Each structure stands twice: as C-alpha cells, then as structure tokens.
Structure 1
Amino acid sequence: MSHNPTDLTGKVAVVTGSGRGLGLAYAAALARAGAAVVINDVDLETAEQAVKTITEQGGQAVAETVAVGTAEAADRLVARAVDSFGRLDVMVTNAGILRDRVLWKMTDEDFDAVVGVHLRGTFTCARAAAVRMREQGEGGRLILVGSPAGQRGNFGQTNYAAAKAGIAAMVRTWSMELSRSAITVNAIVPVAATAMTETIPAFAPYVEAMRGGEPLPDFLRKGEGFGTPEDCAALIPFLASAAAADVTGQCIGIGGDRLALWSHPQEAAVAFADGGWTPDTIAAAWHSTVGSAPQTVGIPAPKLPEV
C-alpha cells in the first residue's frame, strides 16, 4: 500500500470531453497517478486515440463516445466506469463548446447549446456520479471545470460565462449537500494554450513560438498564469487524492506557474438608513457610500512587457 497521499492506485475516474486538449491532459495526469480512466468524446476516433495515448504510457483507460448533456449520457458514463473497473471515485466535468456572440446577435440556439453542454452536462454527470458514490459509501470527488469568464464575465460570452458562473454556484451548494457522504466538490479554473485561447492576439505569437519549442516567458507563465494544458493538469490528481480530503467548496485557479484561490462573492460595502431607503436617499448617498468603489468586470487584458 502506497504512503503517497496523491497516489490514486485503485481509483476510477470519468473525465468528460477528454479526447484532446485540457481534458486529455487531465485524464493522462489521473492515469499517471494510478487511476483507471474513462475517456469521453463525441468522436469515436478521437476517444480511441486518447485511450491509446494513455495505455501506451502504462495507464488504464477505456472510451465512451457520447455527447454530454442528458441524464442518459451521464448514466452511460457512470455505467462504463463501473462495468469496466468496478466502481467510480472521481468525476471530472470538462466537456464544453463555444458559441460566442454579443447579446444582440446571440440566438436561442447559441445560448441553449452552450448551457446544455456546460451547465446541464455538469449537473447530470455530477448527479449520476453522486448517486453511485453514495451507494458505494466510500466518499468520492466531483471536480468541475470553471473559467475566469464565469468569475468575472467576458465580452461576447453571455452563454459561456453564465454557465461557468452557475458551475461555481453548484460547487458551493453541492459541497454542503455531499459533505456527510465524504464527497468533496471543487472547481478548477484553468488558463492554458488551447484552441479556445491561442487565438487571443496578445498570446498568439508566444503560443506559436511555444509550438516551435520555445518556452513561454515569465510574464505569461507567472504574470498571466498562462501555460500548457499539462501545467493545469496537476491540480486534478491532487483534488482527486487523499491529500485533498479536506478541500471542498473551492474554485481554484491554475495555469503556467501560478496556483490561486478565487474568492467567493460577498458584500463589498454596506450603508444603512434608519427606517429604510427611498429612491431619493439612495441617490443622495450612493456615491459617498456603497457606490464609492464599484466592482470591476471582465478578464483583465494581458500586461505585455514594454518593448
């Protein structure tokens, strides 16, 4: 028996959307730590290639090809873990899509598609996993994938930001509901060079250089917390392990060389009026009381080095 608190030998994990990119990095990291992994993707060839990548490195993995979102899909993923490896200990809800448009151009279909995969998919997969983990009676780990957009908003991402903000709220709620079952619930907030981020103009030349073998500069790896998918992956086995048994209800950022804890929303300023407020008294007091330091929105622009 290993005395390494991050050893996952004997554990079984499902990682949704793990055929490539961040999801594959998460699944591979879990496999290197000793866990057996269910790979999920909507494309069979992609899923099977991911399984091959992991098994060639000495890990255990099987594929389940299904589009995340429905209860039926979630049940299939849990059943695949149980049928293949006998149990389920970790659910990582990574699957996602983008349909970016500003509010007045976003269609109902754009909104529903993104919310369906990110928010409903997280809900259905976490619910199915929680049911199985509670039946097993040995605890478990729900690791949900958030985004800086869900913490601060992002231009053109009504659907995505709303879904990711909802995921952060579900982390807090489920951490309370599942505490008696020894099931921890946390969100990872990753920042990495992926198909979703490498086209950002400020990052693009550095990402291209990285593809050519050059390391990312410190102002990105430390200042922006921006790196490779593999840089983000270390957080997943930690949260899945005994070392994180007391970590729950948290949104944790990782990227490049940076590890961070995101704060939960709380009152930033308070004012009182005897007998209650009227529109006129709010207007008179606003700028000198609660409105004196309004909260900022959006993901800060990268701080590029001076040339």
Structure 2
Amino acid sequence: MTNKGNDGRVVIITGAGAGIGREHALAFAADGAHVVVNDYDASAAEAVAVEIREGGGTAVAAPGDVADWEAGAKIVATAIDEFGGLDVLVNNAGFVRDRMLISLSEDEWDSVVRVHLKGHFVLLRHAGAYWRERAKAGEPRQARIINTSSGAGIFGSVGQGNYAAAKAAIAELTLQAAAELGGYGVTVNAIAPAARTQMTMGAGEAMAAQMAAPDDGSFDAMDPANISPLVVWLGSPDSAGVTGRLFEVEGGTITVLDGWQRAASTDKGARWEPAELGPVVADLIARSPEQVKPYGAR
C-alpha cells in the first residue's frame, strides 16, 4: 500500500475549478489531504469538491477572487473553520490576456498582474500570518507554499508581456517568502508548468497543435495531471529540506531552474569611461552562459 504523505493535512488550492488546479485538488485528495477548492467560478469550485467527496475524499468549496483582500482572508478562514487548521497553500489561479506590448491596454496589463501577482500575495499573506501565530503559540505546523510561475516568467514569451512580468515577479516573491517565512516552519517553492489547459489551448493554432493529446495511446506529455505529483510531494512533510526553489515540470521531466546568478565579472578598480566599455562588455558576455531566448523570439 502506497504511503500517503499528506494524510490529514489541510490544503488550499486556488484556481482549482479546472485545468492544472483541478488535477492538484484531485491528487492531494488521493494523497489523504483535506482540500479547500477555490475558484472564481463558484459552480466550478463546488463541482470539484463534489467530485472529491464522491470519490471518498474530503473537500469543501471556497469560491472567491484571490486578489481581493477580504476574499483571500475568507478562503484561509474556511480551511481553519472547516478542518481545524492549514498546512499547505497552492497558489495556482490565473488567466491570460495576450497581446504584443505596444497593443496592450491598461486594463489588460492591470487585470493579469492583479490576479497572478497580487493573488499570490494575498493568500500568502493571510496564510503566513496564521502560521506565524501558530509558531509563536508554540504550535508550529509543517507548512508549505507552492507558487505557480512559468517558463514565460523566466525566459520571456513574445506576446505575453503582462503574463511574463507577473510570473517573473512570482518567482522572486517565492525567494522572498522562503527567506522571510522559514523561521515559522514554512517552506516556499514554485513550479513552472507546461501542460494543456484552457489558457494554452487558447493561445493560437500552433500552440494548440503542440499541446494536443496524442491519438496513438502514447504518453500524453501535456496532460495537466503530470504536474501534480511534484506539487503533492512539495506539500508533504517529506519536502522539509527544500525551499526557495523553482521547478520546471513538463510531462515526465522535472528541471531545477536557476534564476539570476552572477556570471562573468571585471573590476577595473576605478571608474569606467563610457568609451572603453565596448570590448569590456563584449568580453563579459563571451565569458557568461548563453542567454535563453524568449519563447517565440527569432
């Protein structure tokens, strides 16, 4: 019998009404967790909660806008009131409004950054405050936060400037939160998933073709269920030694992504003159790792 690493643990999953979030909810329930299913669409959240309960698991719906301060507090309160505490927060909610930067409207920028970045912060803030209180009361929990960044946020993606900027900020927020919350027993990691979802299937014909399920019965690398095993493990006590990390997940491949690092360096020991910097910069670039191009760049 497979050990269930999340037996009895309480998990909030945002944006869990469909796609990757729904798969996370089902996977955590199968691993023994009590699941709080959040989605902006109340009927979608309830449908997933019902699906879990009908499968023998424990779940409750907590619909609401993750970027709204009071709604975020209510989602966290639902976990505590219904199941007596909170152990894991999976920040997954988001959507896209893709357009080239020079065509993006102010609302398209604001709405995407709001839901992705502020939505991550709001839930993290309310959950973090609860875990700090428990730690100060001498009742620390083995708490976990798993954020959702994207390859677009690390490498860039043509036509997704708002989304890429928000996802890049989430990667940095993960590092920040890991450093600040570690003293309360909280680990914070992030994933950059690649899978077939409503967002990716709506990103154009080329992307839809790339994401389509195989019709020959072979391994479906773009199945969103492929993403959840790592998230479930990161939510368990077994992952205690892992924090401040970003993992790219696609199909059966898991890759550690290392973000900004100092590469080649030159010290003159005095102030540089602009005219002398051409060959200096060229040398620095030549001695540094090759830069990964944004998705869609030529």
TM-score when scaled to structure 1? 0.88
Q: 2:161 corresponds to which residue?
A: 158
Q: 1:3 to 1:131 in 2, by over 3 A?
A: farther
Q: 1:64 corresponds to which residue?
A: 62
Equivalent residues of 2:157, 2:296 under 8 A apart = no
Task: Determine if the alignment matches structure 1 residue 262 to structure 2 residue 251.
Answer: no
Q: 1:204 to 1:102 in 2, by over 3 A?
A: closer
Aligned partner of residue 178 in structure 1, secondary structure: helix
Count of aligned positions: 290
AA matched with 2:294 = G
Q: 1:289 to 1:93 in 2, by over 3 A?
A: closer
Q: 1:287 corresponds to which residue?
A: 282
Q: 2:82 corresponds to which residue?
A: 84
Distance 2:191 2:240 in 1: 16
Gaps of 5+ in 1: 222-226, 302-307
Equivalent residues of 2:213, 2:223 under 8 A apart = no
Q: 1:41 corresponds to which residue?
A: 39
Q: How does 1:86-235 map to 2 (within 5 A)?
A: 86-136=84-134, 137-198=140-201, 201-202=205-206, 204-205=208-209, 207-210=211-214, 214-216=217-219, 221=221, 227-235=222-230
Aligned partner of residue 145 in structure 2, secondary structure: strand
The CA deviation at 1:291 is: 5.6
Distance 2:114 2:195 in 1: 23
Q: 1:65 to 1:253 in 2, by over 3 A?
A: same
Distance 1:209 1:252 in 2: 23
Match of 2:294 among 274, 295, 298: 298
Gaps of 5+ in 2: 135-139
Distance 1:139 1:207 in 2: 36
Q: 1:231 to 1:77 in 2, by over 3 A?
A: same
Match of 1:274 among 260, 269, 273: 269
The CA deviation at 1:209 is: 4.6
Aligned partner of residue 61 in structure 2, secondary structure: strand
- Identity of matched residues, %: 37
Q: 2:245 corresponds to which residue?
A: 250
AA matched with 1:169 = E
Deviations 1:34-78 (A, max 9, x none): 110111112222111111111122111111111110211110100
AA matched with 1:295 = Q
Equivalent residues of 1:68, 1:121 under 8 A apart = yes
Distance 1:288 1:85 in 2: 58
Distance 1:75 1:55 in 2: 24
Aligned partner of residue 62 in structure 1, secondary structure: strand
Distance 1:12 1:292 in 2: 48
The CA deviation at 1:290 is: 3.4
The CA deviation at 1:139 is: 3.4
Equivalent residues of 1:270, 1:290 under 8 A apart = no
Structure 1 stretch 162-171 or stretch 52-61: which is displaced more?
52-61
Equivalent residues of 2:158, 2:296 under 8 A apart = no
Distance 2:78 2:66 in 1: 14
Equivalent residues of 1:251, 1:262 under 8 A apart = yes
Distance 1:214 1:94 in 2: 29
The CA deviation at 1:214 is: 3.2
Distance 1:202 1:105 in 2: 21
AA matched with 1:297 = K
Runs of 4+ in 1 over 6 A off after TM superposition: none
